[in-house]
Amino acid sequence: MTDGTRPSHAAAGAQRAPDSGAHIALTEEHAAHNYHPLPVVLAHGEGAWVTDVEGRHYLDCLAGYSALNFGHGNPRLVARAKEQLERLTLASRAFYTDTLGPFAAALAQLTGHEVVLPMNTGAEAVETALKVVRKWGYRVKGVPEDAATIVVMEGNFHGRTTTIVSFSDDKEASDDYGPYTPGFRTVRYGDVDALRAAVDDTTVAVLLEPIQGEGGVVIPPDGYLRAVRAVCDEAGALMVADEIQSGLARTGRTFACDHEDVRPDVYVLGKALGGGILPVSAITADHRVLDVIRPGTHGSTFGGNPLAAAVGHEVVTMLGEGEFQERAARLGALLADGLHPLVGAGLDAVRVRGLWAGLDVAPGGPSGRQLCERLLERGVLAKDTHGSTIRLAPPLVVTEEEVALLVAAVADSLS
């Protein structure tokens, strides 16, 4: 494991011509404008640091929206990927491979579930979960055909497919993509009474993020996840936890649900499951749920491919050792201690769970975008959301010194 210290390859970046402007212009001309990147062109990553084409170093405090929990170029993951690259990268699921079974068994054990259905991207995993719970509702619960409902949360973010944006309340994400997929009921996040009122005999599942990442690292009230579990049990509905961002050690536990000792019926996983190397996602559940999927009813050309399974298996093995959970908890406490004093000194609110933070800028201060631009000037990469909020999610390989550097950069950018 790299230790997260500043990389020593400055010369490699410095040898390249200073051509950020050319790269940005070429991208803006030929790549669709579905993102609004900060004006930095990255060329190299190591541990918690990235280097741009001019050789400048930046502390990466976005970490690919938690896809890089284990840092850039993690040696264990790179070695496993290289080994597999030389053996077998892709085989149709029409055949067995020697990597999928071990990966699925290890991931099932990590989640406490019996069965794994592998996919590629997080949105695919969410779509898979939606299909599974609906099919379960018809085949097992006995909901009348085409009557199944799924309860979702205000402020949710589960991806950008047509069905997923159908139950998003972010107008920017959903406008002009109708007609929308029916069958979803939206309730206020953290409101148990609203959830209970929305559940009825047609409800097959409650889908939620244990912590809302895109929403600004929104942490629900204490006891909320246990209450959701109880409501689902009472209603005979499935609890589906989207831990694509919050899972796999980000919050100081393997899963955010672990903070309340809750096990959902379905985990939705992605991002860090691919080790920052390639897209790997999955849902996990017990046989009583996933056995509704039979040959021919769902699939993916690349889902569970040998390379993905090999890398995913190494990720699960590393998580089983507990080091990353411990680091996220310990360093997250330092991050919280450093950020909370900034409330009233440029920030309105700070929310921290493990090495994951949401910062609300006080009225009259910079916008979230402007704060990220100021941080960029100070060698820190972060991402804004919803106007006045920024998110911090450094790789879990950061050091105490780098956490202090991050806090100092935030404080300096607010002044």
Q: Is residue 131 part of a domain?
A: yes
What is the rounded CA–CA span in Å between residue 207 and residue 195?
11
Q: Is residue 368 part of a domain?
A: no
Q: Is residue 262 part of a domain?
A: yes
Instruction: Quick: pLDDT tens for 168-187.
Output: 999 999 999 999 999 999 99
Q: pLDDT at position 31, please?
A: 98
Task: List all residues 6 or more positions away from 4 whose beta carbon is below 8 Å from its beta carbon.
Answer: 47, 48, 49, 71, 395, 397, 398, 399, 402
What rounded mean pLDDT belongs to the chain? 96
**Burial readout 317-330 (b: 16 or more C-beta within 10 A, e: otherwise):** ebbeeeebbebbbe
* pLDDT of 19 above 70: yes
103 is catalytic: no
Instruction: Quick: pLDDT tens for 238-250.
Output: 999 999 999 999 9
Instruction: Quick: pLDDT tens for 34-78.
Output: 999 999 999 999 999 999 999 999 999 999 999 999 999 999 999
Catalytic residue among 157, 255, 302, 324: 157
Q: pLDDT at position 289, please?
A: 98
What is the rounded CA–CA span in Å between residue 293 and residue 131?
9
Q: Is residue 308 part of a domain?
A: yes
Q: How many domains does the chain have?
A: 1
Catalytic residue among 103, 255, 265, 271: 271
What is the rounded CA–CA span in Å between residue 8 and residue 67?
23
Please provide the DSSP assignment of 183-241 as one string.
Answer: -EEEE-TT-HHHHHHH--TTEEEEEE-SSBTTTTSBPPPTTHHHHHHHHHHHHT-EEEE
Q: pLDDT at position 17, please?
A: 55
CB 268 within 8 A of CB 122: yes
* pLDDT of 116 above 50: yes
The burial class, CB within 10 Å (0-12 / 13-18 / 19+), for 222 is exposed
Q: Is residue 257 part of a domain?
A: yes
What is the rounded CA–CA span in Å between residue 234 and residue 136?
17
Return the SS3 of 57.
strand
| Region for residue 331 given its phi and psi (left: phi exceeds 0; alpha: psi -120 to 50; beta: otherwise) | alpha
Q: pLDDT at position 7, please?
A: 63
Q: pLDDT at position 18, please?
A: 63
Percent of the chain with pLDDT over 70: 96
Please provide the DSSP assignment of 154-187 as one string.
Answer: TT-----SHHHHTT---HHHHTT-PSPP--EEEE
Helical pair 100-111 and 306-320, crossing angle rounded to 10 deg: 40
CB 186 within 8 A of CB 194: no
* pLDDT of 410 above 50: yes
What is the rounded CA–CA span in Å between residue 59 and residue 160?
28
Element containing residue 60 per DSSP (H, E): strand 57-60
Q: Is residue 330 part of a domain?
A: no
Q: pLDDT at position 381, please?
A: 98
Q: Is residue 75 part of a domain?
A: no
**Burial readout 50-61 (b: 16 or more C-beta within 10 A, e: otherwise):** bbbbebbbbbbb
Return the SS3 of 45.
strand
* pLDDT of 1 above 80: no
Nearest C-alpha neighbor of 409 from the set 366, 383, 370, 374: 374
95 is catalytic: no
167 is catalytic: no
Q: Is residue 348 part of a domain?
A: no
Task: Give the residue numbers spanning the domain of 166.
Answer: 81-320
Task: List all residues 6 or more positions away from 169 whose beta carbon is below 8 Å from its beta carbon.
Answer: 154, 155, 156, 186
Catalytic residue among 60, 242, 265, 360: 242
Structure tokens at 246: 């919050």
* pLDDT of 4 above 50: no
Confidence tier at 221 by pLDDT (50, 70, 90) = very high
| Of 15-24, 308-317, 318-327, minimum mean pLDDT range | 15-24
CATH number, domain containing residue 282: 3.40.640.10
